Amino acid sequence: MKTIIVATDFSAISINAAYYAMDMAAAIKAQVLLMHAVSIPLMVAEAPMPAETFETMLDDANDELQKLQEKLNIYSNHKVPITRRAMLGTLLNEIEDIANDLDVFAIAMGIQGAGETNRVLFGSNTINMMRNMAYPIIIVPANASFKGIKNIGLACDLKDVTETIPVDVITNIVSLFNSSFHIFSVSKPDEADASILPESISLQNQFMKLQPKMHLVTNENIETGIFESAEKEKIDLLMIIPKEHGLIYSLFHRSISKAIVTHPHIPMLAIHGR
Q: What is the pLDDT of residue 254?
A: 46
Distance CA 105, CA 11 (A): 23
Q: What is the pLDDT of residue 259?
A: 45
Q: For the domain 151-270, what is the CATH code?
A: 3.40.50.620
Distance CA 202, CA 196 (A): 10
Q: In 3D, which of 37, 66, 21 has the Cα closest to residue 128?
A: 37
Examine the pLDDT at 84 and tell me if it is beyond 80.
yes
pLDDT in tens, 1-24: 999 999 998 988 899 999 999 999
Q: In 3D, which of 274, 151, 137 has the Cα closest to residue 210?
A: 151
Distance CA 270, CA 274 (A): 13
Q: What is the pLDDT of residue 125?
A: 58
Distance CA 39, CA 113 (A): 24
Torsion of CA 149, 227, 138, 143, to 10 degrees: -80
Q: What is the pLDDT of residue 264?
A: 55
SS3 annotation, 140-190 = ECCCCCCCCCCEEEEEECCCCHHHHCCHHHHHHHHHHHCCEEEEEEEECCC
Q: What is the pTM of this model?
A: 0.85
- Residue 213: Cβ within 10 Å count: 14
Cα angle 158, 195, 218 (rounded to 5 degrees) comes to 60
pLDDT in tens, 187-226: 777 665 556 667 778 888 889 999 999 888 887 777 778 8
> Where in the sequence of the chain do the CATH 3.40.50.620 domains occur?
2-140, 151-270
E strand spans, 11-129: 31-38, 82-88, 103-110, 112-113, 120-121
In sequence order, what are the beta bridge partners of 184? 155, 215
CATH class as words, domain 2-140: alpha beta
What DSSP character marks residue 6?
E
Dihedrals phi, psi of 107, to nearest 5 degrees: -115, 125
